[in-house]
Structure 1
């Protein structure tokens, strides 16, 4: 099977899963929370084990405290997945707002360059998205339960489309360019 067909199939699979996730965003949100909980538990355990091997009292204490916090968060997400989902969605909302504000501020440092408008619009769109989500969440908190799933589904669709386009690019590229694309 040629490389471009593998990329095409992977892209189509991502699109199908994206559609599936968008069909059940609350279920996908809880799945994201459970996976996050598992990853936090594993990371926390490794951090605690690593804390016993580092040199210095301050480094050891910091490593053990960080490991304990990750273990607590992981256990909390797994023990209460609905609350964990709302917490993760709220963190996403805060990150959208903070990232948007940061890009708006950054755009004014780029004033007079070709990047000004793109950065400004990107920042404003993130802020508007955060406000829209916040407004919907204020009237219906269940929106936060679906937010992570919706974001995951959209990302899977965009990722799938990108892989499909890349597959056709690889198919149509001269053989010299295909090897360079493989190396990158």
Structure 2
């Protein structure tokens, strides 16, 4: 049996951390960039070690090159978190635009389906969001990752609170 209070407690903490993240989105974005840089650096060192130690027998050169690239990206993000945050914002914006265009194309191919309007709306909103970010890139680039992370924490926290309350009411 799962303790519902644990789920509600975790959800409340996530929700509060989401509010904190939204309260200072620039610091949150920089923290995300430094954390991601640390993970890239660790992964790069691990791949270089695997390539040099002989753990990897196939594609050793590829492993070494990818390890060096990962290490360089990680060091770059840690040493220059502002530039790293802008780079990550560009990447996220590109993914938003690409996924929106793909959904619009999928909607066009599914014109006779019941999913047409949902896909069309989803794709259009995503493309508009990406366009808005591009149009205001100088103003939003340092805070976008923090805003997205804060919203993610708020939504996940609310979901866990709801899950905990569901468990309390249904005693699974």
TM-score, normalised with respect to structure 1: 0.88
CA deviation vs aligned residue, 1:51-104 (integer Å, no higher than 9, x gap):
232224xx1111111110000000000010110011111111111001111111
Residue of structure 1 equivalent to 2:133:
133
Residue of structure 2 equivalent to 1:104:
104
Residue of structure 1 equivalent to 2:57:
55
Which aligned runs of 4 or more in structure 1 are off by greater than 6 angstroms?
Answer: none
What do you get for the CA RMSD once the two structures are aligned?
Answer: 1.5
- Looking at structure 1, the residues matched to 150 and 70 of structure 2 have their Cα atoms a distance apart, in angstroms, of 27
Report 1 or 2 for greater relative contact order, CA contacts < 8 Å, sequence distance ≥ 6.
2
**Are 2:150 and 1:153 aligned?**
yes
- Looking at structure 2, the residues matched to 111 and 50 of structure 1 have their Cα atoms a distance apart, in angstroms, of 50
- Looking at structure 2, the residues matched to 49 and 109 of structure 1 have their Cα atoms a distance apart, in angstroms, of 47
Count, aligned residues: 170
In the TM superposition, residue 120 of structure 1 has moved relative to its aligned partner by 1.7
Which segment drifts farther, 69-78 or 97-106?
A: 97-106
Gapped regions of structure 1 (runs ≥ 5)? 179-184
CA deviation vs aligned residue, 1:106-159 (integer Å, no higher than 9, x gap):
22233322222212211111101001111111xxx1410001000100111011
- Looking at structure 1, the residues matched to 149 and 33 of structure 2 have their Cα atoms a distance apart, in angstroms, of 12
SS of equivalent residue, structure 1 residue 54 = coil
